[in-house]
């Protein structure tokens, strides 16, 4: 991933309507994490996220991407779009998938085993989280409510 790749794959911008808009689609690896966070922050800010909400959403996306890199074969793909009054982010990887007993909150096994902090945080920050995983990889879908447009 490089800056040119990010810019070429960005689309959409704030307008008067709430039509769906693709904001970013990009493949990434560990070396791309800083640039990816900046791109997600910039595109999310352009749709009205600010302050703590912006920081929380960017952190949730970063955690999902870090999980893809760490557990999904070293790389992943991110798609970010606006759908109605929500930002949506899909993070996929081609790793071996999660164990069958894995739960979305990251907890599995006996109660003394702590849940994954990344998935725990994602679940606390995002309005809706979906996780699908099998032997071909994992797909994490995040949904975050946008603030109401001003003046309308």
Residue 3 lies in a domain: no
| Span of 8-17, 42-51, 53-62, 70-79 with lowest mean pLDDT | 8-17
Residue 4 lies in a domain: no
Please write the tens of the pLDDT for every residue from 55-112: 999 999 999 999 999 989 999 999 999 999 999 999 999 999 887 777 666 545 445 5
Residue 43 lies in a domain: yes
Residue 15 lies in a domain: no
Quick one: what percent of the chain has pLDDT higher than 70? 76
How many CA atoms, within 13 angstroms, populate the side-chain half-sphere of residue 147? 15
Residue 12 lies in a domain: no
Nearest Cα neighbor of 32 from 2, 67, 59 is 2
Domain tally, the chain: 1
pTM for the structure as a whole: 0.81
Q: Quote the domain boundaries for residue 100.
A: 21-145
Give the CATH number for residue 42. 3.30.565.10
Residue 68 lies in a domain: yes
Looking up tokens 């003046």 gives 151
Please report the pLDDT score of residue 7 as a whole number: 40
Taking residue 112's Cβ as centre, other Cβ atoms within 10 Å add up to 5
CA atoms of 102 and 129, how far apart (whole Å): 15
């Amino acid at each position: 991933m490089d800056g040119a790749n990010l810019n070429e794959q960005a689309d959409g911008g704030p307008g008067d309507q709430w039509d769906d808009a693709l904001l970013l689609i990009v493949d990434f690896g560990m070396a791309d994490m800083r640039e990816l966070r900046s791109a997600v922050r910039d595109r999310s800010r352009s749709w009205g996220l600010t302050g703590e909400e912006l920081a929380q959403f960017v952190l949730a996306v970063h955690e999902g991407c870090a999980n893809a890199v760490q557990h999904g074969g070293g790389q992943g793909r991110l798609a970010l779009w606006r759908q109605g009054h929500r930002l949506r982010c899909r993070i996929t990887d081609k790793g071996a998938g999660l164990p069958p007993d894995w739960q979305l909150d990251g907890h599995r096994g006996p109660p003394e085993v702590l849940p994954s902090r990344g998935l725990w945080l994602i679940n606390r920050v995002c309005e809706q989280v979906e996780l699908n995983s099998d032997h071909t990889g994992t797909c994490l879908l995040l949904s975050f409510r946008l603030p109401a447009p001003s003046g309308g």
